Amino acid sequence: MPVQYRSILEEHKAVRRAAGLFDVSHMGEVDVKGPEALRFLNHLVTNDVTKLFPGRVLYSPMCYPNGGVVDDLLVYMRAPEDYFLCINAANIDKDLAWIHEQAKAFTVTVTDRSADYALLAIQGPTAVAIVQSLTGAKLDRIGYYHFAEGTVAGVQCIISRTGYTGEDGFELYHAAGDAAALAEAVVKAGAAHGLELTGLGARDSLRLEAGYPLYGHEITADISPLTAGLGWTVKLDKGADFIGRAALLAEKTNGAANKVVFFKTGDRRIVRADTPVLGADGAVVGKVLSGTLSPILNEAIGSALVVTASASAPLAVDIRGTLINLQLVKPPFVELKKS
Amino acid sequence: MSSVPSDLRYAKSHEWLKPAGDGTATVGITDYAQNSLGDITYVQLPKVGATLAAGQVYGVVESVKAASDLYSPVAGTVIEVNTVLDAAPETVNQDAYNAGWMLKLKLADPASVDTLLDAAAYGKLIG
């Protein structure tokens, strides 16, 4: 997947206006099966896996004992004792080593399926119409964060109503050997619906505009899900101990030292990752985690990790000698129409 | 394939310069440069009246991917800047050699233009 096919800004706008096709086959897939699959996964991740039923998808961080994040992932329940994880490409080796280690105490089999699966994401207001034109599956019956198994353009797929853009759409998991045929069918069907090929650059600006975290930026081994504002994914009271629970409970009880905030600037100069964030007296109170230009707002947007005590005070950054004020925003930065 | 007009002169740092024949010249960045940068989101230019040495940083061009310094190909005084780029920096992507120009310089030494690459030499550099 390239950073861009044509233009990051134009590809971004195409997804908000019509649809984009992302080849995200680099993502990792892991099968988790066995009599203790549920108990194991509920121990492994912070969200409550017992809420799943066949056809339901769950987003969750997976933490270290200290509350730092190993990775964030999607858990798919296909059947009792049969789950499937989607993990970040850059973390596949680390995650598998971690998951295998934790699985030793449970009756489960963990299998890396990353090389077997390709993954195409069709995202945007016209995505449903495009995919529906290629499948007999009744897509209006697949709700947000639900999935079904069926064929799209004759290719067997896990049809998942999920995405990383803030738009409605689908992620289609399928056999790697079918990827070219499926992509060609989607491009052909999408032509009448404004579909464009979209790259990693637009994927990043779309997710930031939607306020979604990216591993390595808003969540890391040093930034817990609570610090990152993902408290809704940490179910301290789910009735099972899980890795990181004690540390996260302490963080919730005592308050986090730092906080992830989102900002816009009213200026086109991009505030890039690692730029120091300055408090009212000019002292450094944090650093930028992600930054880009919102192609929709036409101004710089981003996220920063700041000392909690300073998070509600005026914040600024110095860009090549110009002091630019950060206006804190509760994301999403733009109105999203996802189902 | 990047466009390299034959009537311009070029710096190794990917700026072009077009002498007007009256001791002034127009400066911008090349098609190769804009294409490498990708979507240009911000162009910071000097004030009119600024004096620049050859190779001196005169501004910054930002794209979604990166921020890069802009270098004056020759010595001179800034007599005009392209204010269109404040609101429409993407003009550099769309028309790097015409509407996307950045500076007009009064050359300190008109002969300094001869120190720059011609189109053939620049084409080879980016080849």
- Pairing outcome for strands A19-23 and A195-197: parallel
Return the number of other C-beta atoms located less than 10 Å from residue B98's C-beta. Answer: 12
A298-314 residue pLDDT tens: 999 999 999 999 998 89
Return the number of other C-beta atoms located less than 10 Å from residue A161's C-beta. Answer: 22
Write the single-letter amino acid at A301: I
Q: Measured between alpha carbons, how far is B43 from B22 in angstroms, rounded to an integer?
A: 27
Q: Six-digit token pair at A216?
A: 């390595």
Closest residue of chain A to B39, computed from CA coordinates: A7
Q: b or e along A262-296 (b: 16 or more beta carbons within 10 Å of the residue's beta carbon)? A: bbbbeebbbbbbebebbbeeeeebbebbbbbbbbb
Place of tokens 């987003």: A59
Shortest Cα distance, chain B CAs vs residue A7, angstroms = 6
Q: Measured between alpha carbons, how far is A16 from A31 in angstroms, rounded to an integer?
A: 33
**CB proximity list for A263: less than 8 A, separation 6 or greater:** A271, A301, A302, A303, A304, A315, A326, A327, A328, A329
Q: Specify the length of chain A in residues.
A: 339
Cβ-nearest to B62 among A7, A10, A269: A269
Q: Which chain B residues have any C-beta within 8 angstroms of a chain A C-beta?
A: 38-39, 41-42, 44, 60, 62, 64-65, 67, 89-90, 93
Predicted TM-score of the model (pTM): 0.94
Closest residue of chain A to B37, computed from CA coordinates: A7
ipTM of the complex: 0.87
Q: Which residues make beta-bridge pairs with A119?
A: A173
- Residue A338's pLDDT band (cuts 50, 70, 90): low
A207-247 residue pLDDT tens: 999 999 999 999 999 999 999 999 999 999 999 999 999 99
| Full DSSP string of A193-223 | GTEEE--HHHHHHHHHHHT---BTTTBBTTB
Chain A positions in Cβ-Cβ contact with residue B61 (cut-off 8 Å):
none
Cβ-nearest to A293 among B41, B44, B93: B41
A69 and A219 in contact (C-beta within 8 Å)?
Answer: yes
- Pairing outcome for strands A57-63 and A28-33: unpaired
Total H helices, total E strands in chain A: 7, 17
Cβ-nearest to B62 among A8, A205, A270: A270
B78-88 residue pLDDT tens: 999 999 999 99
| Full DSSP string of A223-261 | B-TTTTT-GGG--TTSSS--TTHHHHHHHHHH--SEEEE
- Residue B1's pLDDT band (cuts 50, 70, 90): confident
Instruction: Look at residue A337 in the predicted model and tell me its pLDDT.
Output: 75
Cβ-nearest to B64 among A201, A269, A320: A201
Instruction: Look at residue A339 in the predicted model and tell me its pLDDT.
Output: 47
Instruction: Look at residue A313 in the predicted model and tell me its pLDDT.
Output: 85
